[in-house]
Structure 1
Amino acid sequence: MTSFPHRHKSVVRDARLQRGFTLIELIVATAILLILTGMAVPLFRASVQRERERELHADLWMLRDAIDRYYDAAARGAFQTKVGSDQYPPDLETLVTGVDVGGKKLKFLRKIPIDPMTGKPEWGMRSTQDDPTSDSWGGQNVFDVYSKSQGTALDDTKYKDW
């Protein structure tokens, strides 16, 4: 049986070199992971904000559509509205509870959605008599709705101006 001494020395040397990660390797690997995580967090936050903005757009569209359908039904004479209301709903709750039409309830909205920016089912409202730039609601009717959030969107517009 022949011995291979040169092979044995190389195996021993390789075993010594491959005992484990050095401290430098661990620090470098940790630094790379921290950098990658640091880059991912802002992207994640932006995607969460973008999704909340999409939800706000959808909720505003749904509320405004319900107001328009109420107005159209009132303009057609399907039901009577209060004098001075300009045929718009008196409040958002009326869109949910509905109005009596020939012994049946005509509803325009299932529920008042939660504002995704404030986390509350509260919306700013404007009546036809209010100034378009006013943040206070006169209470005569609901002509338009907006978010009460003071935040700024990704496109640098204010949510309350949507």
Structure 2
Amino acid sequence: MTTPKAPGANSINKRLSGGARRRALTFVELMICVSVIAIIAASALALSETGSRLAREFELRSTLRIVRAAIDRYYDRSLEDSPALADNLHYPKSLSELVEKKYMRGLPKDPFTGHSDFRLISSTDETDSQRTNGENVYDIKSTSEYVALDDSKVSEW
């Protein structure tokens, strides 16, 4: 003898058959995969941004080193040519003078501002002065207010 079935029981069993359960499981698997991919993509984006910041910081440090070396070469050459001059007269009057006299190939750009708008420091300026008297170029600093990955201001490098 067979057990009586409730009306519509066959249709419920058909809906929950193996195919329906398999589709539901596939959807869960898909959602897990999408979540994992989203986490990986977010991590890659963060690493990419950090890499970009490091590259700009490295480029600025390199630019500062190149310009400072050019200023030093200019000073040394000027000192050799005219040792009797006052010390502040051995520095270039501008960055353009370094380019004109072939100490640099061109005016460098600050990777954070995209311009050649460095803060020039004269050898006769007061220590920690934010303004220069424009007498000569003893050093340069970035005008950017960017804070580097090591928590230092690039304008203080």
Counterpart residue identity of residue 128, structure 2: T
Contact 1:60 1:145 in 2 (8 A): yes
TM-score by length of 2: 0.79
1:124 aligned partner, one-letter code: R
TM-score under structure 1 normalisation? Answer: 0.77
Provide the C-alpha distance between the structure 2 equivalents of 1:97 and 1:79, rounded to a whole number of angstroms: 22
Paired residues in the alignment total 141
Structure 1 residue 159 displacement after superposition: 0.2
- How far 1:17 moved relative to its partner? 7.3
Unaligned runs of 5+ in 2: 1-16
Percent identity, aligned pairs only? 33
1:138 aligns with 2:136: no
Question: Mind listing any 5+ residue stretches in structure 1 that lack a counterpart?
Answer: 1-12, 99-106
Residue number among 102, 108, 112 corresponding to 2:103 in the alignment: 108
- Mapping 1:34-73, distance limit 5 Å: 34-73=38-77
Aligned to 1:95: 98
Aligned with residue 152 of structure 2, among 150, 154, 157: 157
AA aligned opposite 1:33: I
The match for 1:125 is 120
Partners of 2:30 and 2:23 lie apart in 1 by 14
Larger helix proportion, structure 1 or 2?
A: 2
Q: 1:49 to 1:138 in 2, by over 3 A?
A: same
- Select the structure of larger CA radius of gyration: 2
